[in-house]
Amino acid sequence: MKEIAVGSGIALVIFLALIGVNVTPFVLFAVVIGGFYFFMQNQGQVKFDEVGGSNRATSVISFEEIGGQDTAIKELKEALQFLLHADAIKNMGIRPLKGILLVGPPGTGKTLLARAAASFTSSAFIAASGSEFIEMYAGVGAKRIRQIFRDARKKAMKEHSKSAIIFIDELDVLGARRGSHSGHMEYDQTLNQLLVEMDGISKDDEPRILIIGATNRADMLDPAILRPGRFDRQVQVGLPDRVGRRRILNIHTRNKPVEEPHVLEEVARATFGFSGAHLESLANEAAILAMREGSKTLQAHHFMEAIDKVMLGEKLDKKPNAAELERVSVHESGHALVSEMLDPGSVASLTIIPRGGALGFMRKSPRDDQYLYTRAELENQIMVSLAGALSEELRFGNRSTGARNDFSQAWDMAREIIEAGMSSLGIVNIDDLPAEAFYNECRHIISALEERTREILRNNLGIINRVAETVMEEEVLNQSRFQELVG
């Protein structure tokens, strides 16, 4: 029909020109309309095999190469059975899953899991980001949704695969609650089209289609996308525990000459809260540090410095003056001393080398991952946070602005004590608690702990001075050196 229309138009223009009619306005009008049509067509076309996240499918990865996510892998494998055993699933009358939602913090391996799922099921794999579907032009996002489903089917047929997996990263961009984008209905139209396409997936489709979405903001998603029959399963992809971190470090150091492999156990213990991406970066930074030193192997101090770099950033060129350096050393020594007094062996390192936004840093070394805290443990953390400013006060007679973040952390922990029902207020709903009562209780908790912390520091001021003088000379104290000074 397009060819007939174009041919008829050209014939009409030629006829009008032959009979003496000025055809210039008609030609210009046709050029404008044709250009606009071509532009809109290109806006709607995206080669999902070549752009965005789809290039992540070029390398094959298996579940065995993903560490620290055993539970998530087990759940995902169970959900993938309908692709592997379609006939058995059909005989049992089981409706195949249409969508799997991977939920977890950034850097935990959601993309790797989707790629491994494609390898596990021998499926064609197409990936895209939620932002690739959103445009300012009406209808473009919906067209791209239809296109990615067509592309998935074509790719599966081309690769002679019986199934295809469509991976959509940052699903919260595409699937946010309808009506949350005021004045921009394109978001809602795109989401509606995704829902329609998912509803159209049938158990008799050939090839079979599975949608895997990934987000770290599941609370933002529209309820319609989460209901059974669309994204049927939610797989939690959380931060790895200590055993998981050890496995991840093994994976990322396989091609690196680690001098003492047992040091990875200490690194895993000291990196509570690190994601897989953090650990990969840590291993890479340790290798860079070793290369800078001309070392042929990665040693323990390379990993420990890499931990500080990943947590705080690169060393800064700025150098505090002598008075500021002395204050920073006293401040950090106070943190370290109180931490050691309350929990012996908890100080991993102490430094006054500026990194990121910090002029100094005391890094703790947890013995094991901890997810629950008693009031006493939270109070100890508050005391450690207050110790820096109080050390300055005892040594110099005043405080500095360097304790601002410490006080913020102390206040947050006091808030946690109240919210958990461990304060004198008892069990409370923080939303219904009057602001004045909340403030007074936080102030009461922190004031009492401030006195306890000041007493510890006053009784050990000589040790603080000794540690501060040493760290000013050596810049960095490791755990054994610090404990030697503390005695």
The encoded tokens of residue 26 equal 């008609």
Give me the pLDDT at residue 291, please.
Answer: 93
> What are the residue ranges in the chain where pLDDT is below 50?
43-45, 49-58, 136-137, 183
Instruction: List residues with catalytic annotation.
Output: 332
Q: Identify the CATH class of 52-236.
A: alpha beta
pTM recorded for the entire structure: 0.75
Picking from 453, 370, 379, 448, the residue whose alpha carbon sits closest to that of residue 413 is 379
Give me the pLDDT at residue 55, please.
Answer: 38
Q: Give me the architecture of the 322-486 domain, per CATH.
A: Up-down Bundle (1.20)
pLDDT tens-place string over residues 293-326: 999 999 988 998 898 888 877 777 677 888 999 9
Q: What is the CATH number of domain 242-312?
A: 1.10.8.60
Phi, psi angle pair for 433, to nearest 5°: -75, 125
